[in-house]
Amino acid sequence: MNVKPYLQIPIQDCGEPLVPIDCPLVQLTLPPPYQQLGADYGGQSPYVLRSGVLAALSQAQSALSQEKPGWKLRIFDAYRPVAAQQFMVDYTFRQILERDGLDPSALGAAQREEILAEVYTIWALPSLDPLTPPPHSTGAAVDLTLTDEADQVVEMGGEIDELSPRSRPDYYDQSADPKASLFRANRELLNRVMTGAGFLRHPGEWWHFSLGDQLWAWQMKERYPRENFRARYGRAE
């Protein structure tokens, strides 16, 4: 299994606490999707973020409100302890088995690794090593989408957590889909308001943004290779 390159970024945690997502206008998906599936959050709400990340989220919502009055950020998931990360990895593994009609007891080692490789296209490794925390376990990552002035979820051309090429942020750039321009514009809007507040989007997921974790620091270093970026948020458990 390939180790994701951002896990090599050093962490110097700034010690900010996890705080509830209570930004004006920002919506929460209720009930929390992964808790509904059975993920164990250890009594913690998934709707918490590091205080500095929450401030940036509020800034992103303000920018969205200015550009699209009545539109809101809708949070799908934010903080995720490693136990919840492991649950979702296992859940997705089972989904693939069901989708492909595979018997888990008949899987060979190579086939299992192939399935795990697909799982890890959208899920980070549920590592308990404090040097390599999953992004959501830091309280610095958030999965989200947009709602319009009628509180309807905006069309993005793909679902959150979809195991499909459509999850790539740039999928519709060269698409012949008649709605491609709409999907592209909505994805660009989400990206614009989030990056304007300091977040960076996951290279393979239109819905995932982070600020201050290893993935964010790695992306910043890719953009500014002469700078020595460190993650300022480690695992928040």
Q: Which residues are catalytic?
A: 205
Q: How many other C-beta atoms are found inside a 10 Å radius of the C-beta of residue 6?
A: 21
Cα–Cα distance, 219 to 65 (Å, whole number): 27
Cα–Cα distance, 159 to 174 (Å, whole number): 19
- Tokens representing 236 are 């928040």
Cα–Cα distance, 6 to 211 (Å, whole number): 13
Q: How many other C-beta atoms are found inside a 10 Å radius of the C-beta of residue 91?
A: 16
Alpha helices in the chain (DSSP H): 33-37, 51-67, 82-100, 109-119, 180-196, 214-223
Cα–Cα distance, 126 to 134 (Å, whole number): 6
Closest to 142 measured CA to CA, from 69, 25, 47, 65: 47
Alpha helices in 101-179 (DSSP H): 109-119
